[in-house]
Amino acid sequence: MVGLWSWSGLFDFLLISSKVRRKGEKKVVFLVYLVVSAANRSWDFVGVEFSCTMKSYNCALPLSDPKSRSCLCSLFITVSLICGVYFIGGAWLRKDLFKLSPGFGLNTTRRHRDLDRCEGKCRPIGTEALPEGIISKTSNLEMRPLWGSVSEDNKSKNAMGLLAISAGISQKRLVNEIVKKFLGDGFAVMLFHYDGVVDKWRELEWSDRVIHVSATNQTKWWFAKRFLHPDIVAEYDYIFLWDEDLGVKNFHPGRYLSIIKEEGLEISQPALDPRKSEVHHPITVRRWRSRVHRRFYKFKGGGRCDDNSTSPPCVGWVEMMAPVFSRAAWRCAWYMIQNDLIHAWGLDMKLGYCAQGDRMVKVGVVDEEYIVHLGLPTLGGFPDKNKTSTESLDQPPRSKSLSDSEPLAADMYRFDNRSAVRRQSYNEMMTFRKRWNKAVEEDECWIDPFKQRTT
């Protein structure tokens, strides 16, 4: 106990033994002094004396002597009592001293308590050397002037959403119509220039209000993985990650957001007008007199879909040409996008895991706000130079029964480079599936929330 209290300098424990000789006997007297002094208050406790009498010649107190054993036993009991009083008194005294002197000893306790509390805080990796108040965890895509305040023309009306769209110069008219609608509803806009052409967009009045990112022959998923990190787009409630070959005459971004919020959709897409669109999968087709649908039905052939179906592509599935993610769903999906698999084939079948709940409820297709999918060749393909993108809107649809994850050899474009792109996409899909299966096998802590729900 002496060592326990010596660090504070409050207590000194003095055990003094003295031998007092008397005629014909030896008397062993134990005097225990407990001296306590702190903060202008002191107590002197001169305590316990007891003796045992024995013959003068037996100064060694042999243990074989019953009287000696009795004396030692008494000594042990007495010292135990003294220690008990000391422990209890010390605890009481320390509490009393803290009350009397808040600045004395309490700082050490608070320091340890604060240290424990701070160690439990979750901080971004790399910020340990910084005070918490200076840490800026997120960002946005709002452009800032070199001087002065942000002008209203260059400022998003609110942080309701972000449109990130692939943009080749050959689809300039289509992209112009899309961007104007989104800017009109207060969206931030980012263009992914996969053909390397940027300057030719300068003639459009909104060009300086959007973000331009250019990298030749890269997909929107390549751009998204590198420029749409969840912390960069955390300010936006919804992320629209669209292709460029879309007609938006009957689409209104603000109304669309109202619908998916009311329906509780975390991952969604606008339905396709079947009269003018190239349809890759029946679940994307617009249903008349419907607001939202979450499943489709197929009763013939392989891969039947009915009311008992619980997995994609029958339910909980959207196509990758025009997906819309909530902030939370995008954070999940971004981590699932593979850095080296730039076509993202196979990802569509797993997006339901990012739906923040039941994919049969949280994933859906919006019928009230619909678009036209033209199916124009972009990466690796070359459209007919005699036909403009706006003329394509009036052409009859070219329907195919395939999803992004299920290419058909008969559907290959006649250009070798486009065919090579689709072969690469298919190979990437196989790679993604293998990685998924391997990850499931190796992660002992992961539990599949949809394991019991098979088609």
pLDDT tens profile 173-222: 999 999 999 999 999 999 999 999 999 999 999 999 999 999 999 999 99
pLDDT tens profile 95-117: 554 444 454 444 556 665 666 66
Question: Which pLDDT score is estimated for 143?
Answer: 84
* Residue with the larger pLDDT of the pair 41 and 452: 452
Question: Which pLDDT score is estimated for 73?
Answer: 72
Q: In terms of Cα–Cα distance, which of 50, 49, 47, 44 is closest to 12?
A: 44
Q: Which long-range contacts (CB under 8 A, 24 or more apart) does 300-309 make?
A: 303/455, 305/455, 309/455
Among 109-113, 230-234, 348-352, the minimum mean pLDDT is found in: 109-113
Q: Given a cut of 70, is residue 154 above it in pLDDT?
A: no
Q: Given a cut of 50, is residue 53 above it in pLDDT?
A: no
Question: Which pLDDT score is estimated for 409?
Answer: 33
* Residue with the larger pLDDT of the pair 361 and 388: 361
Question: Which pLDDT score is estimated for 151?
Answer: 64
Q: Given a cut of 60, is residue 455 above it in pLDDT?
A: no
Q: Give the integer Cα–Cα distance in Å for 52 and 71.
A: 6
Question: Which pLDDT score is estimated for 317?
Answer: 95
Rounded to 10 degrees, the C-alpha dihedral 369/374/378/384 comes to: -150
Give this prediction's pTM: 0.69
What are the residues facing 26 on neighbouring strands?
Answer: 21, 54
Question: Which pLDDT score is estimated for 302?
Answer: 79
Question: Which pLDDT score is estimated for 17?
Answer: 41
Contact criterion met (CB below 8 Å) for 232 and 138? yes
Q: What is each CA distance from 362 to 295, 349, 354, 357, 404, in whole angstroms?
A: 12, 15, 9, 7, 21
Give residue 226's pLDDT band: very low, low, confident or very high (50, 70, 90). Answer: very high
Question: Which pLDDT score is estimated for 3?
Answer: 41
Q: In terms of Cα–Cα distance, which of 7, 21, 18 is closest to 56?
A: 21
Q: In terms of Cα–Cα distance, which of 100, 390, 352, 143 is closest to 245?
A: 390
Question: Which pLDDT score is estimated for 321?
Answer: 94
State mean pLDDT over 303-327.
94
User: Measured on CA atoms in the order 77, 82, 84, 87, is the torsion positive or negative?
Assistant: negative
State mean pLDDT over 124-128.
86
Ordered structural domains, the chain, with CATH? 2-117 (no CATH), 161-442 (3.90.550)
Question: Which pLDDT score is estimated for 412?
Answer: 35
Maximum average pLDDT range among 25-34, 152-161, 444-453: 444-453
Contact criterion met (CB below 8 Å) for 349 and 333? no
